[in-house]
Structure 1
Amino acid sequence: MEVKNKVVEILAEQAVLEPSDVKMEMSLEDLGIDSLGLVESIFAIEEAFDISVPFNANDPQESDFDISSVARIVEGVEKLVAEQHP
């Protein structure tokens, strides 16, 4: 399963958009995903890839997981998959 496609699918579902409408440079705000939606997306990503995301829901800025854009989220997930499932 390609990480990028699955992450885009999860974020699109959360944003109630078609995956084709999700662009790599978009932020979660662009997608209309709020903090609760983000937490739900993180849970879905963890479940889909069997990984643990170092995400601080109370203070996303303090997190090691970059959520500034779709591309950054994909990069972060790819890195976690490589680390947690070598």
Structure 2
Amino acid sequence: MSTDPQSVRDRIVAIIAEQAMLDPSEISVEATPADLGIDSLGLVESIFAIEEAFDISIPFNANEPEKSDFDISNMGAIIAAVEKLVAEKA
């Protein structure tokens, strides 16, 4: 599995796009999950899919997302956080 930043970003965008039923080209780094029409359940499903895709564990509490160390404020933050976890695992 390639862990270069572009492939990590592309895979995250693909996972989120699938959850949001959008084309990956429609997803910007500024977009929030809400902007993309992803509700809390969809976000949890996306996080599980990202964990599985990269074989990482994301420190996210679905019951208290505001207390999580994992920033879900927008796509750029999600991508940066996953890239960090992937780099730490390598």
TM-score, length basis structure 2: 0.92
Q: What is the deviation of 1:12?
A: 0.4
**Which of 33, 39, 57 is the aligned partner of 1:34?**
39
Are residues 1:7 and 2:17 paired? no
Are residues 1:20 and 2:25 paired? yes
Query: 1:77 — aligned with what?
Result: 82
Runs of 4+ residues over 3 Å off in structure 1: none
Query: 2:50 — aligned with what?
Result: 45
RMSD: 0.7
Identity %, equivalent residues: 64
Aligned positions, number: 85
Where in structure 2 are there 5+ consecutive unaligned residues? none
| One-letter identity of the residue aligned with 1:73 | I
**Which of 53, 70, 81 is the aligned partner of 1:65?**
70
1: CA distance between counterparts of 2:12 and 2:87? 15
TM-score, length basis structure 1: 0.96
